[in-house]
Amino acid sequence: MRNAPETFAKPRDAEKWLTLTESQMIKGEWSPPEGAEITVREYGHRWIADRKLAPRTRELYGDLFRLYVDPHLGKLELGSVQPATIRSWRSTLLATRCREPQAVKAYTLLRAIFNTAVKDDEILSKNPCRIRGYDTYHTPERPTATVDQVHALAAVMPKRFSAFILVAAFSGLRWGELAALRRCDVDLDARTVKVHRKLAALRTGLEFGPPKTVAGIRSVALPGVATDALKDHFAAGYVPDDPEALIFTGDKGALLRSGNFRRTTRWAESTRAAGLGDDFHFHDLRHTGNTLAAAAGASTKELMTRLGQSSMRAALGYQHAASERDREIADAMDKRIRRQRRKAGSTGTPMARKIEKS
């Protein structure tokens, strides 16, 4: 038994409310009102704690909720949050110098939290985070290094990091995947590398763990130039003769940290020397190998496998960017067309040759 949310002045008003509530129950749209009384703060913290997440992802979600959601919406009851509340919240975020990418990530997180309240826990009938356009933002296109620029960058690196640059560029592996590679993960004869873990930087320190998604566990074929770089790297003695030995480490064999790497390699100075500018990120090297794979004719599924992505979005982006390959295809088509036209001109019927001459 549950009481109505208010006392009605007339029996007729009470009957109308009861009829409406019974209708909602029949259509499956009614939820127990006490469930919606939990605060956004309490439910959000519980959602992040109970969710199966990678350690780094859990930290990121916790930061987003703590910085952008809790201060503005934390005290509100779930059932009181409406689309107008979400619009006001977003406007407040952007007005307080929160960058749009962070606002989008915070909105996406909040929408996932409310989705659980609606679909799994069934304590809400609708998700207030259903405003079109709030889950996307314009991302400026990142630079893609040419093959010559990649080699130039590898040449100005300290010797122990030359192969690191070449393998990063021509395999498409992420920083954490490269930093976690061991001797036993690489087959130089087959020219393949197995990716089944990554090195993540957490507040508590560096930690090995599985890739973010199942798609991240994969085997990637390496171009010969990347394999040759690894052979030279092994021959130089940078990797101990142990199957479990890490392939890429710091000067003293320590785990790679992005901050230490940038200082040791003088990253900004090195990228300028290679003609890549000050704003070139290590992650941008990944674009080179993936763009080359797309230009070589890799299918969407094949690109997804190399990328370690479960979504087609990134793969389609590289295929769209492979305009150089499109020109090669068009030029090859043109040669084929002209060759067949010449052949037709020499073997065609007299009438066909007469028409063509005219």
More confident of the two residues 137 and 38 = 38
d(CA 336, CA 342): 10
Q: What per-residue confidence (pLDDT) applies to 102? A: 94
Which residue has tokens 């021509």?
Answer: 170
d(CA 93, CA 71): 10
Task: Provide mean pLDDT across the span 252-281.
Answer: 92
pLDDT in tens, 77-114: 998 999 999 999 999 999 988 999 999 999 999 999 99
Q: Of 86, 83, 38, 43, which Cα lies nearest the Cα of 65?
A: 43
More confident of the two residues 22 and 250 = 250
- In angstroms, the Cα distances linking 217 to 114, 187, 277 are 30, 16, 33
Q: What per-residue confidence (pLDDT) applies to 246? A: 96
Q: Of 229, 163, 155, 165, which Cα lies nearest the Cα of 191?
A: 229
d(CA 354, CA 101): 66
pLDDT in tens, 112-131: 999 999 998 888 888 999 99
Q: What per-residue confidence (pLDDT) applies to 329? A: 64
More confident of the two residues 222 and 213 = 222
Q: What per-residue confidence (pLDDT) applies to 5? A: 63
pLDDT in tens, 221-253: 888 999 999 999 999 999 999 999 999 999 888
What confidence category does residue 355 fall into, taking pLDDT thresholds of 50, 70 and 90?
very low
d(CA 128, CA 114): 8
Model confidence at 209: pLDDT above 80? yes
Task: Provide mean pLDDT across the span 184-202.
Answer: 92
More confident of the two residues 96 and 6 = 96
250 — phi, psi (to 5°)?
Answer: -75, -175
Looking at residue 75, its amino acid is K
How many Cβ atoms sit within 10 Å of the Cβ of residue 236? 12
Model confidence at 327: pLDDT above 70? no
d(CA 192, CA 219): 7
